[in-house]
Amino acid sequence: MKQGRLDMIEAPLFVEEIYLKAEIFSIGTELLMGELTDTNAAWIATRLPALGIQLRWVSIVGDNLDMLSEAFSRGLERSDIIFTTGGLGPTQDDLTREGVAAALGETPTVQEEAVRHLEQQFRDRGTDMPSRNIKQAQLIPSAQFITNRNGTAPGWWAERDGGIIVSMPGPPAEMHAIWDEEVAPRLLKLVDGEVTITRNIKTMGLSEAAIDEIISEFFGKENPYLGIYSKADGNHLRIIARAPDDAAARLLIAPVEKAIEERLGPHIWGYDEETPEHAVGVLLRQRGLTLATMESCTGGYLVNSLTDSPDSASYFKGGVVAIGDGVKIAHGVPAEVIERHGAVSQETANAMAQAVRKGLGSDYGIGIAGDDGSPPGDGPTAGLAYLSIVGPNGSKEMELRVPPRRVTVKRRMSNNALIELSKLISSEGVR
């Protein structure tokens, strides 16, 4: 494998061209036709930086031998590693093995030990192995099988002339297990003696362009690498550093993280694997506080997010999904507020937060009122939403206009509500 040059200078360290280049092929005509959604590529992509592997391309390739062979040949010319998912089944249109073999100019042959293993798998299920499954026991000289505990399709690890093709089954449960148990440990050995550390800083309230202007000097560097990613819960800043050991990698990250915190501090709401609902849950639980919600345009998304935490019952009193005005009124929102200001207004959101807080006896109440852009979706309020948070010592109001797509409104308003609640609780000190 290609090895990057490691230059040792005064701390911090600088590592040049250390990343292995990779690409992902999601294989299957059903993906091209839109019959299935490819989630495998995104799942793999999130795990590559920590392994010191830089993803350069992601492609979907149909079940066609010529196309697969061409794609593998082209990929081996420009990448160190190719990851594939799908096309390892027993049917005629499962052609990943044949495509890899054609690209490498090798002929697959049936491995008798693999046949016996497959036969035993079927016997364990109480049935005989269909003859078509024999193709899953084929292997080329440059490949090794990758054990699949959750299915009959073993993966392939093919390696020749410095290039690697890792072929995994398409079903996520099978692919995830193969990755965790077999593939990731092998990949770690490729970069033995080096570590990769990542730090994810999560922000809300600034655009990507604004963030770029504020911390522009940190972008465009190889090590540490800084990337920005737009998410439903704001813009994430990911710092990736690679060095001979953990301490050296963290030394690379430290000055970048410090500068981001100094310049973006008020807009930072979390780090690494934290989610808005987790951050809120920790604060509420630690301080013995409770929460209740009333939402309209988010359609229960906020309640769903909060109850994803297994211990949410200790701090979440409950939520009202008040789509119609009658439901709002029935749960304590004054009819005259809606009549005077409209259902999509800050005043109505305020009344919703106050009503649910009082009605369910919670410390904090959240109200969300808005227009999710449902058909016709082009009115003056489409994508407009209002947030209100009412607590024992303070309150928060917010107007937000987002693209008038239902899922976008649901996610952004719910995440904004939770992030702003976290900020409000933190600002009020320890109870």
**Structure confidence by residue, pLDDT tens digits, 245-268:** 889 999 999 999 999 999 999 999
DSSP sequence for 184-251: HHHHHHHTTT-EEEEEEEEE-SS-HHHHHHHTGGGTT-SSSEEEEEEETTEEEEEEEEEESSHHHHHH
* pLDDT of 16 strictly over 50: no
How many helices (H) and strands (E) would you count in the chain? Answer: 15, 19
pTM listed for this prediction: 0.67
Compute the distance between CA of residue 78 and CA of residue 73 in angstroms, rounded to an integer: 9
* pLDDT of 194 strictly over 80: no
* pLDDT of 9 strictly over 50: no
Q: Across residues 147-174, what is the average pLDDT?
A: 95
The proportion of the chain whose per-residue pLDDT surpasses 70, expressed as a percent, equals: 93
User: Which of 13-50 are b and which e, b meaning 16 or more Cβ less than 10 Å from the residue's Cβ?
Assistant: bbbeebbbebbbbbbbbbbeeeeeebebbeebeebbbe
Neighbours of 182 (CB within 10 A): 21
CATH superfamily of 276-427: CinA-like (3.90.950.20)
Residue 311's contacts (CB-CB under 8 Å, 6 or more residues apart) are 281, 285
pLDDT of residue 197: 86
**pLDDT band at residue 203, thresholds of 50, 70 and 90?**
very high
* pLDDT of 4 strictly over 80: no
The proportion of the chain whose per-residue pLDDT surpasses 90, expressed as a percent, equals: 77
Q: Across residues 28-44, what is the average pLDDT?
A: 93
Pairing mode of beta strands 53-61, 20-27: parallel
pLDDT of residue 6: 31
Q: Across residues 30-40, what is the average pLDDT?
A: 92
Q: At what angle do helices 276-287 and 406-427 cross, to 10 degrees?
A: 30
* pLDDT of 135 strictly over 80: yes
Answer with the residue of higher pLDDT: 201 or 7. Answer: 201
* pLDDT of 12 strictly over 80: no
pLDDT in tens, 313-347: 999 999 999 999 999 999 999 999 999 999 999 99
**pLDDT band at residue 7, thresholds of 50, 70 and 90?**
very low
pLDDT of residue 18: 52
pLDDT of residue 3: 36
Most confident of 53-62, 189-198, 397-406: 53-62
**pLDDT band at residue 136, thresholds of 50, 70 and 90?**
very high
Q: Where are the domains of the chain?
A: 19-190, 195-271, 276-427
* pLDDT of 11 strictly over 50: no
* pLDDT of 73 strictly over 60: yes
407: left (phi over 0), alpha (psi -120 to 50) or beta: alpha
Average pLDDT of every residue of the chain? 90
Pairing mode of beta strands 138-139, 155-160: unpaired
pLDDT of residue 402: 81
Give the pair of three-digit tokens for residue 228: 């920005």
| The CATH number fitting domain 195-271, selected from 3.40.50.1360, 3.30.420.10, 3.40.50.2300, 3.30.70.2860 | 3.30.70.2860
Partners of 144 in the β-ladder: 157
Pairing mode of beta strands 225-231, 81-85: unpaired
Q: At what angle do helices 65-78 and 96-104 cross, to 10 degrees?
A: 50
pLDDT of residue 273: 87
| Ramachandran angles phi, psi of 106, nearest 5° | -125, 160
Q: Rounded to the nearest 10 degrees, how much is the dihedral formed by the CA atoms of 353, 356, 357, 358?
A: 120
Q: Rounded to the nearest 10 degrees, how much is the dihedral formed by the CA atoms of 243, 244, 248, 252?
A: -10
Answer with the residue of higher pLDDT: 271 or 6. Answer: 271
| Ramachandran angles phi, psi of 73, nearest 5° | -60, -45
pLDDT of residue 431: 46
Domain 19-190: give its CATH architecture: 3-Layer(aba) Sandwich (3.40)
Q: What angle do CA 225, 231, 232 make, to 5 degrees?
A: 165
pLDDT of residue 245: 83
pLDDT in tens, 287-322: 999 999 999 999 999 999 999 988 999 999 999 999
Q: Across residues 226-253, what is the average pLDDT?
A: 90
